[in-house]
Amino acid sequence: MKFSTEIRDNIAIIKSHVEKLDALHAPDLKSELVQVAKEGTRHIVLDLSESRYCDSSGLSAVLIGNRLCRDAEGKFVLAGLQASVEKLIQISQLDRVLTIVPTASEGFDFLVMEMTESEFGDDPKS
């Protein structure tokens, strides 16, 4: 299994089980992200803690996840970046666009907090 998905509280946690997120595996990640979005999940945590390498195809898949969430008025969080992957994201300046947290559980907590805040923000009494 290259990627696994767990959905909790309307948040999808997609975990990569590939060492290299490259042209060979990026299409599978894109498919997983699209499938989750089609099922109506607007918030995604992508856990890359097991991926030690990422190329432009992998970055493209990550950006598709970000766009799918944004288009659905949701949030996309990247978690568990290895040093080499984090460096690539910084070089490509995607750290300015993406929400990045150290672990998937922190990503989940971040999204729960964001969802709670938006619920209160929609309350006309506040």
Q: What DSSP state is assigned to residue 34?
A: H
119 confidence band (pLDDT: 50, 70, 90): confident
Evaluate if residue 126 carries a pLDDT over 50: no
Percent of the chain with pLDDT over 70: 96
Query: Residue 73: how many CB atoms within 10 A of its CB?
Result: 9
Condensed to tens digits (0 to 9), the pLDDT of residues 68-100 reads 999 999 999 999 999 999 999 999 999 999 999
Indicate yes or no: pTM above 0.85: yes
Report the chain's mean pLDDT, rounded to a whole number.
Answer: 94
Residue 38 lies in a domain: yes
Evaluate if residue 122 carries a pLDDT over 70: no
Residue 60 lies in a domain: yes
Domain count, the chain: 1
Tell me the CATH number at 96. Answer: 3.30.750.24
Residue 40 lies in a domain: yes
Pairing of the two strands 43-47 and 11-16? parallel
Residue 104 lies in a domain: yes
Domain that holds residue 41: 3-121
CB distance 41 to 95 below 8 Å:
no
